Amino acid sequence: MTGTPRELLGPGGLVLDVRGRPGPPALRFETAEEGRRTVLRQRERTVLLGGLTGQGCCHDLRLHRLDGYRSPLPPIASSRMRSAVDWAHQYARWLEGSDATPLDDGRWHLARRTWFEPGVWSADLVRDWPAGLLELYCGGGWHGVLPLRRLSPPDAARVKAYRKHVRDGTLAPVLLWWVPFLDGWLILDGHDRAVAALAEDRTPPCVVLTRLPDEDAWRREAKQLAEGHRRHSARFTGTERQRTALEEGYGAVLAGLPYEPSAVRTWPLTGGTPAWEVLARAAMFQFPGD
């Protein structure tokens, strides 16, 4: 995928316009029963099972993760972390060349992130393994971080080495994938680096991968927004200052449409719910306590 078109968005951010990968990608969600049964696969390996319970706006997503997830990034040497690296661009290059990536055709945003809402990396970090429970609600819900492999203890040798990088300010960022239907992030790379930062009472530095709307989609929304703005503007009776504020707000919303997070694509689970149940029974047989 060398030569993927890129749009630079200032320091630490860019958009990849991925082409020639119609999907499904190596790392992908497959669903059945209108999304109530979910599988995350990496190539042919199942790495996560999810099942929704509840009705209406109140849902619990019960999770079970399996060993074998593989990062789409190569190991990052300590010497590289100490060098000057634009991590969003570096991660983009690695993702382009990876055979374990979630990238498929479309626009993808990568950007540095160092601040998160309270609770994201504490109460809403899923530390249990292999099972997990996410409380999802309409208008707000879990909004946390889900590891795809077991977290190491803070005194593990690799974590100790990363903790020095945290203190030195040279820790490579954790790579997260924003998944809107989970209302949270998956850790794609950097599980031990995240543990190291948290052990030092720091928020892990991150690069977040987010799928963006395709051009046709955001242009349709822009057209609808423009029509609504035209009607509202024709009826507007406020002051000139208020009209200026209205126009500035409209312009800001319009400019942001191409960069609003979009839904992550899913693929049909072959065999539907019965196939999901076979996978779930096998997982429960392996881990009967879950």
How many residues make up the chain in this entry? 290
Q: What is the mean predicted confidence (pLDDT) over 147-157?
A: 97
CB within 8 Å of 55: residues ≥ 6 apart: none
Report the DSSP pairing between strands 45-53 and 58-65. antiparallel
Gyration radius of the chain's alpha carbons: 21
Read off the pLDDT of residues 96-150 as tens digits, 9 standing for 90 and up.
Answer: 999 999 999 999 999 999 999 999 999 999 999 999 999 886 656 789 999 999 9
Q: What is the mean predicted confidence (pLDDT) over 204-213?
A: 96
Between 133 and 217, where is the model more confident?
133
* Local confidence band at 9 (pLDDT 50, 70, 90 cut-offs): low
Between 228 and 278, where is the model more confident?
278
Between 170 and 248, where is the model more confident?
170
The pLDDT, as a whole number, for residue 286 is 56
d(CA 159, CA 216): 45
Which residues in 66-82 are b (16+ Cβ under 10 Å) and which e?
Answer: beebbbbbeebeeeebe
What is the average pLDDT score of the chain?
A: 88
The pLDDT, as a whole number, for residue 7 is 75
Lowest mean pLDDT among 23-32, 90-99, 128-137: 128-137
Tell me: pLDDT of 274 over 50: yes
Q: What is the mean predicted confidence (pLDDT) over 204-216?
A: 91
In 3D, which of 49, 208, 207, 196 has the Cα closest to residue 134? 49
Place of tokens 């899913």: 266
- Across the strands, what pairs with 51? 37, 62
Q: What is the 3-state secondary structure (H, E, C) of the chain?
A: CCCCCEEECCCCEEEEEECCCCCCCCEEEEEECCCCEEEEEECCEEEEEEEEECCCCEEEEEEEECCCCCCCCCCCCHHHHCCCCCHHHHHHHHHHHCCCCCCCCEEEEEEEECCCCCCCCCCCECCCCCEEEEEEECCCCCCCEECCCCCCCCCCHHHHHHHHHHHHCCCCCEEEEEEHHHCEEEEEECHHHHHHHHHCCCCCCEEEEEEECCHHHHHHHHHHHHHHHHHHHHHCCCCHHHHHHHHHHHHHHHHHHHHCCCCCCEEECCCHHHHHHHHHHHHHHHCCCC
Task: Check if the beta carbon of residue 280 is closer than 8 Å to that of residue 51.
Answer: yes
User: pLDDT > 90: what percent of the chain?
Assistant: 67
Q: Note the pTM of the prediction, 2 decimals.
A: 0.87
Q: What is the mean predicted confidence (pLDDT) over 41-58?
A: 88
Between 120 and 216, where is the model more confident?
120
Read off the pLDDT of residues 62-79 as tens digits, 9 standing for 90 and up.
Answer: 999 999 999 999 999 999
Task: Check if the beta carbon of residue 128 is closer than 8 Å to that of residue 149.
Answer: no
* Local confidence band at 50 (pLDDT 50, 70, 90 cut-offs): very high
Tell me: pLDDT of 2 over 70: no
